[in-house]
Every structure is written in structure tokens, then in C-alpha cells.
Structure 1
Amino acid sequence: MPKVAYSEAEKAQVREALLTKGLELLAKQGIQHTTVEQIYKAVGISRTFFYSFFPTKESLIIEALYLQQPRVLVYAQKLMDAPSLSWREAVTQFLCACCYGEKNGILILTIEEQQMLFRRLSHEAYRTFREKQIRLFGNILECFGIGADCARVGLFTNISLMAMIVRRAIPETMPLFVPEAADETVAFQIKAIVDFLEPLKKENFCR
């Protein structure tokens, strides 16, 4: 029988569990194939209790993405601190892990998922998400040892997300792309990004 009364501390634990399990399922299965029922059953609570924490599935998804951001940054720093990896190897491994997010527990939205999710966000919620996203990518650049001015952060955000999204989009969303060359395409894009970033690191180091 489900528990009837929860303390505030227990509620906080349940909320955290929902976000953690939700992020895990969403990253592995994608938004469209992950249901609210799967999440609340995995945590061991009722549907009604779930909706006392998150009024919609979309609200949980946004909070799960926020939960993911510091974890992604910690992962990037771990790679940069690894003595066995060169700078290029660390950055390449980080970008590769993001492009193959479902294999690494990182939630990357497809084009359709982005459209579906952001159509349902308020203007204020959308603005908050963009601010947090810009901060994340700026922090990643700084983790790489690169100065994070606005223009640089914007470009890095776009070229990184392009590699991640294109990889997820072949062949379902982009059927004219060649699926057999998807992995080689991702590798080419990641190399191009690293080639773009490396001189910026050296430039920042020399200042």
C-alpha cells in the first residue's frame, strides 16, 4: 500500500528520485518513449503523488535537464583533469559522449522533441532555460581553458548542438542523409569543433 503521509524531507527525497530516475529513462529511451507511468512506478509512488511534484511531463523534463547540467560540467572537468588524456583527447571524448548521449546517460533532445517541448513553455520559462543553457556552455568553454565571451559561447553552443542533433536525426528526421556515414559524420564534426577551439585555448593561455 502506498504511503499516505510524507514528511517534507521525504518529499524532497521523492522529488529528487523522480528527477534522477526520469533523467535516466529519458536519456536512454528518449522523451517520446518515456512515460510518466514508467517514472513514478520506478520510484514506487502513485500517479496522483507524481503530479503533486510535477504538473506536467514537460515540467519534469525541464527540471531533469537542469539536474543534468552540473553533472555534464563535472564530467567535462574530470576529463580535463585526467593525466592520461591530452587536451584534444579530453575535449573529443566529451563531445563524443554528448553526441552518443543515450549510451552515456546524457539527455540530448531530437529536433521533434525540442519542438514539442518548447511549444509548451511559457515565455518566462523559455528565457530561463536559455539563460541556463548559455551559462552551461560558457562554463564548459572555461573548463576547456577558453575565454567565454558572448559571441564565442553562442557559436560553441550552436556547433556543438548541431553535431549532437544531426547524429540523433539520421535517418528518421533527415532521411536524405546517408545513415551508413552517420558515425563518420559525427567524427568529422567533432574534429572540426576541436580544431576551432584549440587555437582559442592557446590564445587564452598566451594572455
Structure 2
Amino acid sequence: MSALPDPPPPGLRERKKIKLRRAVRTEALRLFEMQGYESTTVEQIAEAAETSTTTFYRYFPTKEDVVLGSDASAMFEPVMATRPSDEPLSATIRAALSAVVAAAEADREQTLARMRLIANVPALEARYAGQERRSVDLMARLLAGRTGRPADDYQVELVAFVLVAVLFTATRRWAADPDANPLATLTDQALTTIEPLLTALEPPRRR
């Protein structure tokens, strides 16, 4: 079984967008820590990032999205799309989660700052809970695509909930005590525990 080639690196225009998005988020998190989330305005963030409020809203529809929008989480679906179609589901999920975790740990300070804000700002915590529900829907769709089952299949929905719980719970535990265990260790332990559930979703020919 041969792996598919890695996707091409982003072009110059896309790299500029990524750089600006990161600059805006960096300045936002700095201001939130310095003067508080509620006291910081979009105008202050845009000025600190040397951009306009129009550009800010192009990248982040609301102030909350500066904290909640995760570049790491957005990697999950593209990574799954590059995996061989006949690869065991557990290996596919492990590869996708590993990419997400590696990105989060590489951007450790921003990730931890975001998680601290989510834990301490009620509006962000409420929106984060909503993200979990949307993540379950996305995961169910991705699992359906890999297994040939419908997205509303009972087992697919159950496993989708479990996988999202793995990522969100591991991230919360890591953020609460980042020196206790690496995020990669926490997610790996959880995936090993639930691997039989992933195997059960496989088409019979792949088990």
C-alpha cells in the first residue's frame, strides 16, 4: 500500500494570508492578556497588527473567532483526504490527529493562551461548546466517507462523538497542566483505548 504524495506547499499569496492571520491573532492574544478580553476592541487589535478593521473581519467574523478559530483543527480534513483509501481507519485517524496535535504543540504558547481564555471567558466557553457539536458533525461526515456508511449511522455518530471528546478533553487536560504530559501522549493514549471502535466501523474486507 503506497502513500499518496504530500500536498504542495502553499503559494506566496496564501503564505501572506497565513502570516497576517497569525499577526492579528498574536496581537489580539497579547492585548487580551494585558487589558482583558472584554476591554479589548477590534479596532485596538487591528491597529496593533497594523491592518484595518475591514481586513480583521475578513479573517475573523467576530472578536470571539480570534480565540476560537483554530488553524490546527482545520488541518484534520485535508490530512484525511491525503491518506490512502485502503488504509485502516485507525491509521488514518491517528495520522490526522497527529498532524493537528503537532501543529498545536508547535504553536504551544498561542494554543495555551487561547485555552486559558476559553476557560475564563463565559462567552468563549459557550461558543467552544458549540464548536464541539459542529466538530461531531464534521467527524461523522469524514467517517462516513471513509467507511461507506451514512453519516447518520448510529455507530458512526457514536464514534464521531468519542473522537471529538478525545481531542477536546485531551486539549483541556493539557492546557490545565501543560508540563504534566505532552498533548501527543494524551491523544495517543486515548486513541489506543478506542481503537476497537474504529476497527468495528471498517468494511468487513478490511478487518
| TM-score class, shorter | 0.5 to 0.7
* Ranges in structure 1 where 5+ consecutive residues have no aligned partner: 1-12
My pick for the range that moved more, 134-143 or 108-117, is 108-117
Q: Is 1:77 the counterpart of 2:81 in the alignment?
A: yes
1:57 maps to 2:63: yes
What is the CA distance between 1:122 and its match in structure 2?
8.9
State the distance in 2 between where 1:180 and 1:23 align: 26
Per-residue displacement from partner, 1:124-153 (whole Å, max 9, x unpaired)? xx87x5674343112221233252326445
Q: Partner of 1:144 in structure 2?
A: 146
Judged with a 3 Å threshold, the aligned counterparts in structure 2 of structure 1 residues 60 and 190 are, in CA distance, closer, same or farther, namely: same
1:9 match: none
Shift of 1:195: 2.3
Question: So what's the TM-score if we normalise by structure 2?
Answer: 0.54
Aligned-partner Cα distance in 2 for 1:121–1:34 = 19
RMSD: 5.0
**Residues 1:160 and 2:160 aligned together:** no
| CA deviation map 1:22-47 (0-9, x unaligned) | 36986xx7x856866777766x523x
CA distance in 2, matches of 1:24, 1:104: 16
The runs of 5 or more residues in structure 2 that have no matched partner are 1-12, 33-41
Structure 1 25/76 Cα, relative in aligned 2: closer, same or farther at 3 Å? farther
Match of 1:45 in 2: 51
Pairs aligned (count):
178
Letter in 2 for 1:173: A
Name the counterpart of 1:192: 193
Contact 1:171/1:179 (CA < 8 Å) preserved in 2? yes
Q: Structure 2 matches for 1:176-191, cutoff 5 A?
A: 179-180=180-181, 183-191=184-192
Structure 1 CA distance for aligned equivalents of residues 72 and 104 of structure 2? 16
Q: Cα gap change, 1:117/1:142 in structure 2, threshold over 3 Å: closer, same or farther?
A: farther
User: What is the identity, as a one-letter code, of the residue corresponding to 1:159?
Assistant: V
Counterpart of 2:104, as a letter, is E
For residues 24-76 of structure 1, give each alpha carbon's deviation from its aligned partner in whole angstroms, at most 9, with x where no partner exists.
Answer: 986xx7x856866777766x523x444665574214556x459965x532221
Task: Map 1:88-107; keep pairs closer than 5 Å.
Answer: 88-103=90-105
Report SS of the residue matched to 2:202: helix
CA distance 1:25–1:140, shift in 2 (3 Å): farther
**Counterpart position of 2:21:** 22
User: What amino acid does structure 1 have at the position aligned with 2:83?
Assistant: L
